[in-house]
Structure 1
Amino acid sequence: MADEAGSTAPASDAFQALGSESRMAVLRSLADDEPKTFSELFDASSEDTTAGFAYHLRQLTGLFVQKRDDERYELTYAGRAVVRAIPSGTYTESVDREDIGLDDDCPFCGETALAATVEDNVTRVFCRDCDSPVLRLSFPPSGYRGRDEADLAAAFDAHHRHRIEAFGDGVCPECGGVVTARLRPVEPVESDDEASTDEDHVPIQAAFDCETCGSSLRCPVSLTVLSHPAVVAFYHDHGVDITSRPLWNVGSEWRERRISRDPWCLGIRTRLDDEELHLYVARDGRVVDARRQSVTDRETESEETNDASEDGTTVDGAAA
């Protein structure tokens, strides 16, 4: 589909047009999606004269408000976005919260000691026992309202599952722009030791970046495949709902290991009972193959020996 031609206003003009309470009142008056006449908008305003009100309305028209053929006014797409942002607190609220207890085991030490804190709308999950950081992700201010600790944890988890899925589909969850995906080492390793710089020995993460707004996400690759049909079916067949496990601990059975350089491929393995699921992920984050395999006693013993050299999957360092 070809790009549609359209108009683009300078960002400074758009924000300047919002710099008046009278203009914000106009947007709120139109928030119910019911077109209104000039008189109806004026009556709902605090302006003393129609001339003064008309000036404010002109500053909004075109960018945030449009005049219909029947002489009534309605919000544009940008106007609706601003109206939604006002009650959500996106630009006006900063949320801070003390420790929130989470009823989940730490993926590092195994103790049920996970907690979350919120500072300036950013939630940090960590372990009180071993002090390991688990994840750090933002959450809209409105998401913290009206929820107890259990509901907040569930909402936070659902919100970021959807974000990961959208990024994985190549669509930015913030602006709808094109997303590039790439698997890469968690962080560059500077060393003269060739073995320590070998990617085979460095944990791999999925890196998503929006080409339009710059929104980004870094997370373990295993988190990007949780909604893959092969994964959902595998867990369902073993009586487990994978969606019931929060992002901060999806299970200790997950393993990741780079298995090929040419073509580049990351292997992800998860095991339940006497069966394994193997996923093969290309460098651009696509799952190119998925296979199930029964585990014999001999294979089990061999895999347990090799586990020590494979990277376990946690959400340590997940960030957006």
Structure 2
Amino acid sequence: MDEVDEPSIGSRDRGPDSSPSIASPTAEPARAERVSDPSDAFQALGNEIRMGILDTMLERTDGEGPSRVSFSALFEASDVDTSAGFAYHLEQLVGPYLHQYDDGYELTYAGERIGRTIATGTYTHRVDRPPVELEESCPFCGRQDLEARSADNVVTISCDDCGRSLLRLGVPPVGIGGHGDEFPAAFDRYHRHRLGLAADGVCPDCSGDVSGRLVTPSTTVADELPSEYDDHVQAEFSCHGCGIELRCPVTLAVLDHPSVVSFYHEHGEDVSERPIWNVGHEWTETTLSEEPLAVRVVTELEGDVLALYVDEHASVVDVQRSSADE
């Protein structure tokens, strides 16, 4: 599920020309091959025996890459009575999900990906969790009434006092149910990682090319914000491959910037330990221009000030520092 607009205050982006190229000028372009129609590919999965084959193949795949498994080993691991019947089901997976060789079979990338996605319960399980109280205060009303809850595999961080939703994100069921009461911390790292990838120009879902820009909040988000945030601007990251869109406060888009990391480190703090639903009240955002949009993000620690200037592509174009001793 895609991330939705997040009104919390408090991820760095890249402009269209800021990602380094690692290909040589004479490199040949990638060659794309269509191995099956989507309808055929998904139809091949609609059988319990075939799903069992993928599961067996996953068990034989280790960290060094896919392992080749013989026909006899796969057949013995199944509940099929005849080898002829088993061979038919195995053949349906060859192409999109399995490579066939003289001495056995290997998972394709798609085979391993679909197998592991099914193992997480994404397509088969739903996890609902009662609210878990969070230690951080609400960045809007200041009350310590923040809570994290899950409904239909979607985690929401909200304030029980002012009723505002700070963050909402779909998470695979195993990510919600597999961490116990620590799932809010795991959720924070998961979302921070996704934003970091998108800000670096790589889609967290499909690895496609991502571009960023500054946008005004949607009506739904604007209605959630207090009046003092009427000029609030968000960073939006869009994938040109799968079409996913992620939006976040501009502050979250610069958290991984080297100047921010070093600034907090010099003051004996690790900015990654700040949960993304409240990275600290020392952060402020100011819209400098509307055509095109430009924002100044400022943080202050012990009288020292760090200012980052973010352009319309959600890229940091300038950094300024001032010391309390100056």
Instruction: State the TM-score, normalized to the length of structure 2.
Output: 0.83
Give how far 1:295 is off: 5.0
Mapping for residues 263-278 of structure 1, pairs under 5 Å: 264-278=293-307
**In the alignment, does 2:82 pair up with 1:49?**
yes
User: What residue is the counterpart of 1:167 in the other structure?
Assistant: 198
The correspondence for 1:178, drawn from 201, 206, 209, is 209
Partner letter of residue 56 of structure 1? H
User: What residue is the counterpart of 1:142 in the other structure?
Assistant: 174
Mapping for residues 161-310 of structure 1, pairs under 5 Å: 161-187=192-218, 202-260=231-289, 264-294=293-323
Q: Is the CA contact (8 Å cut-off) linking 1:186 and 1:202 kept in structure 2?
A: no
Query: What secondary structure is seen at the aligned counterpart in 2 of 1:129?
Result: coil
2: CA distance, partners of 1:148 / 1:101: 13
Give how far 1:147 is off: 2.0
Instruction: State the TM-score, normalized to the length of structure 1.
Output: 0.84
Q: Which moved more, 1:279-288 or 1:3-12?
A: 3-12
Question: Percent identity at matched positions?
Answer: 47
Q: Which moved more, 1:200-209 or 1:25-34?
A: 200-209
1: CA distance, partners of 2:52 / 2:180: 32
Partner letter of residue 72 of structure 1? G
Encode CA deviations 1:18-54: one digit per residue, 9 max, x unaligned. 0101101111111122322112211111111111111
User: What residue is the counterpart of 1:84 in the other structure?
Assistant: 116
User: What residue is the counterpart of 2:152 in the other structure?
Assistant: 120
Partner letter of residue 65 of structure 1? L
The correspondence for 1:20, drawn from 34, 47, 66, is 47
Give how far 1:218 is off: 0.9
Over 3 Å counting, the alpha-carbon distance change for 1:3 and 1:266 in structure 2 is same
Over 3 Å counting, the alpha-carbon distance change for 1:272 and 1:144 in structure 2 is same
2: CA distance, partners of 1:294 / 1:205: 28
Query: What secondary structure is seen at the aligned counterpart in 2 of 1:104?
Result: coil
Query: What secondary structure is seen at the aligned counterpart in 1 of 2:265?
Result: helix
Partner letter of residue 96 of structure 1? D
1: CA distance, partners of 2:230 / 2:158: 25
Give how far 1:260 is off: 3.4
Q: Is the CA contact (8 Å cut-off) linking 2:214 and 2:293 kept in structure 1?
A: no
Over 3 Å counting, the alpha-carbon distance change for 1:142 and 1:188 in structure 2 is closer
Give how far 1:203 is off: 0.8
2: CA distance, partners of 1:129 / 1:7: 53
Encode CA deviations 1:66-96: one digit per residue, 9 max, x unaligned. 112x421111111111221122111111111
Q: Is the CA contact (8 Å cut-off) linking 2:237 and 2:246 kept in structure 1?
A: yes
Encode CA deviations 1:265-304: one digit per residue, 9 max, x unaligned. 211111111111000011111111111113589xxxxxxx
Q: Is the CA contact (8 Å cut-off) linking 1:100 and 1:116 kept in structure 2?
A: yes
Query: What secondary structure is seen at the aligned counterpart in 2 of 1:236?
Result: helix
Larger Rg, first or second structure (1 or 2):
1
RMSD: 1.9
Partner letter of residue 32 of structure 2? A
Give how far 1:112 is off: 1.3
Over 3 Å counting, the alpha-carbon distance change for 1:57 and 1:3 in structure 2 is same
Give how far 1:262 is off: 6.4
Q: Which moved more, 1:275-284 or 1:287-296?
A: 287-296
Q: Is the CA contact (8 Å cut-off) linking 1:42 and 1:50 kept in structure 2?
A: yes
User: What residue is the counterpart of 2:19 in the other structure?
Assistant: none
Q: Is the CA contact (8 Å cut-off) linking 1:122 and 1:136 kept in structure 2?
A: yes
Give how far 1:176 is off: 0.5
Query: What secondary structure is seen at the aligned counterpart in 2 of 1:231?
Result: helix
User: What residue is the counterpart of 1:158 in the other structure?
Assistant: 189
Unmatched 5+ residue regions in structure 2? Answer: 1-22, 24-28, 62-66, 221-228
Give how far 1:261 is off: 5.1
User: What residue is the counterpart of 1:196 in the other structure?
Assistant: none
Over 3 Å counting, the alpha-carbon distance change for 1:261 and 1:124 in structure 2 is closer
Higher relative contact order, chain-length normalized (CA < 8 Å, sep 6+): 2
Unmatched 5+ residue regions in structure 1? Answer: 190-199, 298-320
